[in-house]
Amino acid sequence: NAGVTQTPKFQVLKTGQSMTLQCAQDMNHNSMYWYRQDPGMGLRLIYYSASEGTTDKGEVPNGYNVSRLNKREFSLRLESAAPSQTSVYFCASSDVSQGFYGYTFGSGTRLTVV
Amino acid sequence: KQEVTQIPAALSVPEGENLVLNCSFTDSAIYNLQWFRQDPGKGLTSLLLIQSSQREQTSGRLNASLDKSSGRSTLYIAASQPGDSATYLCAVSHSNAGNNRKLIWGLGTSLAVNP
């Protein structure tokens, strides 16, 4: 049971480059999320998708775009990377429809923008 | 605006000790509260989830309590072991968050259990 799988695990980008972080879950969860984690700031929500076909902004959406490709996959795209986007990115999923509201997290992507 | 605070920021204890981690929140209108564990360089693992109507949840050596009226939760770890060393994070969801139940996070307590 893989849970939530994120790729890549590590990435170094130059300022202005673009990249897509991939996330897939195999638990048939409806909701998926992208967070970033920075020292002293805690986890902050970038974007979320309550269900397939919908996406909404979180606390810190600027500089990012997302795609809910299907129920399993939720990708995060940086169109023009900036040093301020250096962070650890986590994808998560949850399912409220079955009475369980817990979250499952991926192992994270450590991104450095130079 | 909901704010979640965890005290202490760091804790070091000898193996075998019982310990309590604290989490406080400013808005008592929460839907649920969750405790997570994060190991260095790893993702987060959900430990316990307490619905707003519940007072506590237990899993093995872990017991989490919730007092909505005072805006507090505690995570009790019995007979601590070196393998318990990790950062423990508390997160709450708003009661009006709709179907997505977005989480508001504390900064965590970094726990070191020394052999």
Closest Cβ opposite residue B46 in set A43, A48, A102: A102
How confident is the model over B10-22, as a mean pLDDT? 96
Please report which confidence band the pLDDT of residue B42 belongs to, taking 50, 70 and 90 as the band edges. confident
How confident is the model over B35-41, as a mean pLDDT? 91
**Residue position matching structure tokens 């984690």:** A37
pLDDT for residue B95? 62
Q: Does A103 touch chain B (CB under 8 A)?
A: yes
pLDDT for residue B85? 97
- Tens of pLDDT, residues B53-106: 999 999 999 999 999 999 999 999 999 999 999 999 999 987 655 555 678 899
How confident is the model over A64-90, as a mean pLDDT? 96
| Residues of chain B with C-beta less than 8 angstroms from the C-beta of A92 | 44
B54 Cα to chain A: minimum distance (Å): 14
pLDDT for residue A94? 86
Dihedral angle sign, alpha carbons of residues A60, A65, A67, A73 = negative
What single string gives the DSSP state of each residue in chain B?
---EEEE-SEEEEETT--EEEEEEES---EEEEEEEEE-TTS-EEEEEEEETT-SEEEETTEEEEEETTTTEEEEEE-S--GGG-EEEEEEEEETT-TTS--EEE---EEEEEE-
Q: Does B96 touch chain A (CB under 8 A)?
A: no
Q: Does B108 touch chain A (CB under 8 A)?
A: yes
How confident is the model over B31-56, as a mean pLDDT? 90
